Amino acid sequence: MTFANVGTLDAVPGKRDELVTVLARRSPELEQAGCLLYEVGVSEESPDTVFVAELWVSVAAHEASLSLESVRSAIQEARPLLSGRMGGFSFDVVGSPLRD
């Protein structure tokens, strides 16, 4: 079953764009690990927040991706840019009007 993870990451003030650069860096490994979508966004209404929407072939694929060296490296690089405030939610996708 397809798994969705949607979250917010608050950056240290003034570091949002650096965080976006780390999170949006091209990673062919993610696709190979079962990531169907990984979108990084911002909103001027929340100038220190980064929004991330992920879609995975399964929750297991998402969990396994956390052991990839490229993912672990990105997490380490992002840590000093984070304020510590995070939010979000996860869910199993049960349907879509865009696909069978």
Which tops the pLDDT comparison, 32 or 1? 32
Q: Mean per-residue pLDDT for 21-50?
A: 96
Flag whether pLDDT at 99 surpasses 90. Answer: no
- What is the structure's pLDDT at 98? 87
- What is the structure's pLDDT at 29? 93
Split at pLDDT 50, 70, 90, the class of 9 is: very high
| pTM of this prediction exceeds 0.85 | yes
- What is the structure's pLDDT at 1? 82
Structure-block tokens of residue 67: 């052991």
Measured distance CA(24)–CA(53) in Å, rounded:
11
Q: Where does residue 3 rank: exposed (0-12), middle (13-18), buried (19+ CB within 10 A)?
A: buried
